[in-house]
Structure 1
Amino acid sequence: MVNSKTERHRFFWSRASLMAGAAVLWMASFGIAEAQYTEYQPAEPEAGTELPEAAVNFGMRPYADNTFYVIAMKKGWFEEAGIAIGPEELGMKINDTNGTALLLNGQIDIASQYCPLMLPTYKSTEKLKCIAFTDTFLGQAILANPELGLKSFRDYIAEGMDFDEAIKTALEPMAGKTLVTPPQLSNRPFTDAAAEFSGVKWDTQVLEDSKSLVLAKSGQIDFLNPEGAPVVFTLEQAGWTKLLGIGDLFEYAPGGAGSPVAPLVAIVGIGANADFVNANQNTVLRFLSVVWRTIDAVKKDPSLYDLQAPYLNSVAGTDLDGKGVQGTVDSLHPFAPFDYGETYFNNPDSVLYYGNAWGAMIKEFVDNGILPDEGLTPDDIIWAAAIWKQMEDYRVQSEKMIGDLDGQTLSDDKKALLDQAKSYYEKFNYLDAYRLATAAGA
């Protein structure tokens, strides 16, 4: 069995190193000095009751969970929050290669981002920050041919088994059999963890996804661990059983700071230039309110994905309709609503808690020589925790004020302010809900 300590994320290291190299070359050529932006600096709410207006240059990576912002743009929700998206009508098209440099040089202020891609730049600068988490990637899985008629880990959990018994029982049919795996090492830590937790041993056969998918569709494979999330989705749609998904480990495996699952966590979010954030704190809060509003809206009305699909297809080369985008999101990277911040930022017992996941990730980067061992902590790059907690505080305060004012006799102008506060609250704009509720009660 491959040692997960030495193999874990090795595929990612090479990818991250290339991207960091490009960013470092850019920084060297322009003589950027190391910035000192280790703390988020919240701003006071603006005075008055008018909604401030601001421009945000925003970039989107070409993935389903990185382009849902288009829905809000087309619905006019950013404008409702006082934000004009630039530099084009639908922001800027970026990718994994150029996104980091564009944030560093200020061509874009905010970007949809897999934030670990920014971490290697901390060898030279502290300018890039992760300001929100939007979803946890769940694309890794061990699949079983439907002809085998097997039950999944979650089936056994539903029957009342604990984690240890459920994972052993679910994977026991693989004992001595062959699991087809991809040549990429990025999946290896997941299958290693599955074998370690279950105590089940199997043989492996290495095949590219393109070949294993053909064999799987023709019934020539019993057990498969694809590298590509779209292959997982395709086979699940064809009836294959997900014996174990990485999300099962996130939800049921032992959590906490020392959890062996912590290095497997892959959370997608939003990256930003610290200069912009600490000069436009309330604009950032309003921007994020639209993000949370959109996540809530697509869950209630999945037809909104019809607005995203054409844009996604144009940048990703896919051919999905709205239902296809919804299926991809729900299966592989379900969006995290605002209240999921309790898990990400307030629950240290969860493997998804930012301090656990990012503490493990920083250690891996240091151990693999990507970063120097200079005491970098999760809070140095993850401003999402402080920002979410600030917004949660506005939520709690505005909710209380609105509740208190609801039973009072108010003048017409105060009543109008209260109604506007309620509208902001419903749209997840807790900052302006607080401002207007405060004015209504003054």
Structure 2
Amino acid sequence: MTRVEARPLSREQFVIWMAAALSGAPVQPQDLTKVTPRSADVVLVWPVDDRGARPVVCVARNKFQDFYAFVSTYFANVQPYTAYFRVVPLELLGNLEQEGVEHPRSIEVTKLVAGASIAEAWLAALRNGERPNNVLPLVRSTLSSALGQTVLAGYDSMALDWVLNEWLTIRAARNDAVVSSVEAISNVWSHVHAAIVPMERQRTSGLNASIIDFLATALKTRTINGEALRLISGDVAPNADLRSMLTASREERVGRFNVFISELKERGRLDVAAEFTAGLMLAIAGNGSFEMIRSAREFQGWLDGAATWFGICAALFDESNLMSYAHSVGRRMTRDLSRQPEIFGVVGADVASTELRFIQSSKGDVANLALTSAGSLEVEILPNVLSRLVLQDAGQSNQRAEEYEVMLSALDEISRVTDRARKRLRRSGQEDQSTSEDRLQRRPKKLF
């Protein structure tokens, strides 16, 4: 557990601190008169035992707009501000003291995040009728990626809600197509959250305890086996007999999955248990192979959340091809997620989601930001919770439209010039012909 010190600052004290911070590495405030939290504009937070750490700026939720308006005016040479200084909601300050997910479970959790993100990205590409050349930005942009990183960081349920709302808000402002199964995906990660973060096991109201126990056991044993399946054989999947399905032939496993889906459609049972069981059975059918994700199109439009459950359950299998699937995007995701940058270290993202919302609301051009990667924007929602925005925005579309119009105008002008030249040549040819005929008529006749 990291113990932190929180120092409330007035706006004047914040300016003094910024002057020192901009001269080099951000320093912890010294020799400043203490102010009461109620009269503070910001709160600086840093680890008690690390005098060289970079303080995190905490701002109340209802003061973000005023704060970013202030720093954009007084520190115009530090834009965007959150590319250099980390800013988090004051209400989530307690999460800066969290220990995070214990090793070695964190390695297994990265696989869950990667698996769910791949499944969600695949369905998004299927809905849009696209086959993207580079799937990594699309996978990183998913809701499962953001919520999974929140769980991996060991944050509480309030932080999970914050990440969900921020993820939705920054995409709604850009008119991005948001997945239709947001509520179902959020519910999936609430179950995973309760299975991984010990303090959240006490807050399981509205969740299925058997699913949580199944996930906790599977993570502990690092695979899906009869012990884990026994925990859900009662109230979650009483008629599926998943333990015998685990040892059946591939043809039988696929057949039983198809029968289960048909029965679900007939009964119209669309609760969390049905979504979980459908995703788990599809994972069992392929022994964790992500090639089975093609069958996840069966879930679209009526069994929201099942594809996310498939990605999570498939990642738990020993035989899973998560690491090698889709040009090893799973291996790249688990590598990146295994790195836990220091909360009180240097910022690595392009901008924080709260400042991005401010830029969008003030009609600022996101494309003008200095980007880590061309064509996409890395957004920090919370420390160690990053999301990717692919910049297929209106600015690019307008630029292409303008270029198209210029080309059309140029072609029209070329056509008009060509027509005029053709007419002139035609008239010139007619005049030459008539002149020749006149000359022939005026030529004196030969005398014989």
In the superposition, the TM-score normalised over structure 1's length comes to 0.25
Which of the pair has the greater relative contact order for Cα pairs under 8 Å at 6+ separation?
1
Structure with the largest fraction of strand: 1
Bigger radius of gyration, 1 or 2? 2
